[in-house]
């Protein structure tokens, strides 16, 4: 029997590479941004696309599947956005709400409602929801305008039919060379899956973790690049192995930054001084909120020379001042650790810990594809035989879930699904991930 999937908030379909790897066919996709969906169509030409607001298209999605497919939907995979989340926890938010202090709720948080409407109508055998860890602290207004924690809301709507759990994992524990934490939720109405969750509290198990893959393992053998003109491209190796040229000042800061350190902590390079005791850059906590330190010195306390720290000449005063930045800005990565989590800003020096460990540059697009595990799959980033823009490449890479994680999840789901789960008998997975 065909194993069909419906994918919601699909972006360009990078997570769906994990479905495709397990012969799960995405038959319907919904994404609001047209440029993402155009790329999706190129890579999944047989998928029916609904491009636009899910509130508008939810009924059409349901109708289309029921009309065109007789078999039960195997999987619904969705990554609904959750904005304005609080690390203070849902309990504190709900307490404030009950006191009459109504917080402003981002309407995008309520996109879980049409997602669950589609799930209830199509009743897939398996459900995967993916988001950032703080989704578990999100409070939404439900369809009755009552405030409720989003995870409680999901369970309220699914718990009478489905069994499952949610869990925060680090992608680095499953073969991805990146310290990227995600909240992954799995529900099922499949009998073997229900039996699994009757025995196991979590979908991801401690014994399934793999050996950590470091940045050196991932990109250590690639041809070197340098953010100077003429040295910043290696198109002969791969058309996406290139970086932008830095201006001279930024290059000066970066060139004096050691592995794992940040440019804000660089010390005096005046050969007649070399004072290494200038105060360091540290975030400060004001009213419980971390803020960048605005008093970090940019001149040497001993000789008065300009330090190779991020600074700029103020257009109004004409004086040089510190550029605002947190402890992770203008920081080099470390060879023997996984990369920090990629964001859409990874091509910029100021992005969180995205400067190459030893070379004077940021990550290339090709290196980001490796770190996000996308390079292990077949995906076409071209339109009209030309690669999409660097900006769009960075956006869709930075906003995606590493497909290797979804690959792992789908392989395990199939392992459970394709057998009668025996009580007290561990699931044996043979996954080359």
Residue 247, burial from CB neighbour count under 10 angstroms (0-12, 13-18, 19+): exposed
Catalytic residue among 82, 268, 300, 410: 82
Residues 131 and 271 in one domain: no
Indicate whether 282 belongs to any domain. Answer: yes
Q: Are 320 and 410 in a shared domain? A: no
Is residue 76 domain-shared with residue 189, that is, in the same domain?
yes
Q: Is 82 annotated as catalytic? A: yes
CB crowding 185-204: b at 16 or more within 10 Å, else e: bbbbbbebbbbbbeeeeebb
Q: Which of 257, 283, 256 is nearest to 271 (CA)?
A: 256
Name the DSSP class of 306: B
d(CA 392, CA 66): 34
> Is residue 198 a part of any domain in this protein?
yes
Question: Among 277, 312, 327, which residue terminates a domain?
Answer: 327
Contact 119, 128 (CB under 8 A): no
Alpha-carbon gap, residue 326 to 324, rounded angstroms: 7
Tens of pLDDT along the chain (433 residues) come to 789 999 999 999 999 999 999 999 999 999 999 999 999 999 999 999 999 999 999 999 999 999 999 999 999 999 988 665 444 444 555 555 556 665 566 777 889 999 999 999 999 999 999 998 888 888 888 888 888 889 999 999 999 999 999 999 999 999 999 999 999 999 999 999 999 999 999 999 999 999 999 999 999 999 999 999 999 999 999 999 999 999 999 999 999 999 999 999 999 999 999 999 999 998 777 766 667 788 999 999 999 999 999 999 999 999 999 999 888 899 999 999 999 999 999 999 998 899 999 999 999 999 999 999 999 999 999 988 899 999 999 999 999 999 999 999 999 999 999 874 344 444 444 433 3
> Is residue 243 included in any domain, yes or no?
no
Domain range enclosing 72: 4-211+401-417
d(CA 330, CA 257): 9
Q: Are residue 16 and residue 143 in the same domain, yes or no?
A: yes
Residues 6 or more apart in contact with residue 45 via CB below 8 angstroms:
none
- Are 159 and 295 in a shared domain? no
Q: Verify that 183 and 36 share a domain, yes or no.
A: yes
Strand partners, 76: 6, 127
Residue 290 belongs to some domain of the structure: yes
* Boundary (domain end) residue, out of 293, 309, 327: 327
Exposure letters 359-380 (e unless 16+ CB within 10 A, then b): bbbbbbbbbbbbbbbbbbbebe
Q: Confirm whether 25 is domain-assigned.
A: yes
Do 183 and 271 lie in one domain? The reply is no
Same domain, 23 and 156: yes
- Judging by DSSP bridges, how do beta strands 339-340 and 178-179 pair with one another? parallel
Domain count within the chain: 2
Based on the fold, state whether residues 21 and 166 are members of the same structural domain. yes
Q: Would you say residue 346 lies in a domain?
A: no
**Structure tokens of 189?**
């109405």
Are 176 and 278 members of one domain?
no
Q: Are residues 179 and 267 in the same domain?
A: no
Fill in the DSSP letter of residue 228: S
Based on the fold, state whether residues 180 and 277 are members of the same structural domain.
Answer: no
> Which pLDDT belongs to residue 328?
87
CATH number of the domain within which 61 lies: 3.40.50.150
């Amino acid at each position: 029997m065909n194993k069909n999937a419906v994918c919601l908030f699909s972006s360009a379909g990078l997570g769906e590479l994990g479905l495709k790897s397990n012969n799960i066919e995405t038959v319907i996709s919904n994404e609001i941004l047209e440029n993402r969906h155009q790329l999706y169509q190129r890579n999944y030409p047989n998928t029916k696309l609904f491009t636009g607001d899910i509130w508008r298209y939810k009924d059409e999605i349901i109708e289309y599947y029921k009309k065109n497919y007789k078999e039960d939907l195997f999987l619904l995979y969705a990554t609904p956005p959750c904005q304005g989340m609080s690390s203070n926890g849902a309990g504190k938010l709900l307490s404030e709400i009950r006191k009459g202090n109504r917080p402003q709720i981002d309407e995008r948080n309520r996109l879980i409602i049409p997602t669950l409407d589609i799930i209830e109508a199509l009743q897939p055998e398996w459900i995967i929801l993916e988001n950032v860890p703080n989704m578990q602290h999100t409070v939404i207004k439900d369809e009755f305008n009552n405030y409720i924690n989003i995870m409680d809301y999901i369970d309220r709507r699914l718990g009478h039919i489905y069994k499952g759990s949610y869990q925060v994992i680090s992608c680095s524990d499953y073969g991805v060379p990146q310290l990227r934490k995600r909240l992954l939720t799995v529900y099922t109405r499949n009998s073997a899956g229900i039996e699994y969750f009757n025995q196991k509290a979590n979908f991801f198990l401690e014994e399934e973790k793999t050996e950590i893959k470091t940045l050196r393992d991932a990109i250590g053998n690639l041809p070197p690049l340098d953010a100077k003109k003429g040295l910043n491209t290696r198109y002969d190796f791969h058309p996406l192995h290139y970086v932008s040229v830095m201006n001279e000042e930024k290059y000066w800061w970066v060139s004096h930054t050691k592995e794992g350190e940040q440019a804000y902590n660089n010390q005096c390079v005046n050969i007649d001084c070399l004072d290494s005791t200038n105060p360091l850059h540290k975030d400060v906590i004001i009213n419980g909120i971390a803020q960048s330190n605005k008093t970090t010195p940019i001149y040497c306390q001993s000789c008065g020379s300009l330090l190779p720290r991020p600074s700029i000449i103020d257009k109004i005063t004409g004086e040089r001042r510190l550029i605002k930045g947190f402890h992770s800005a203008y920081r080099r990565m470390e060879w023997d650790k996984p990369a920090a989590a990629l964001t859409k800003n990874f091509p910029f020096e100021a992005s969180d810990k995205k400067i190459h460990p030893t070379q004077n540059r940021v990550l290339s697009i090709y290196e980001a594809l490796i770190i996000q595990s996308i390079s292990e799959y077949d995906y076409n980033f071209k339109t009209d035989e030309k690669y999409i823009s660097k900006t769009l490449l960075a956006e869709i890479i930075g906003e995606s879930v590493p497909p290797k994680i979804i690959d792992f999840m789908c392989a395990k789901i199939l392992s459970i699904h394709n057998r009668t789960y025996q009580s007290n008998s561990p699931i044996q997975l043979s996954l080359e991930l």
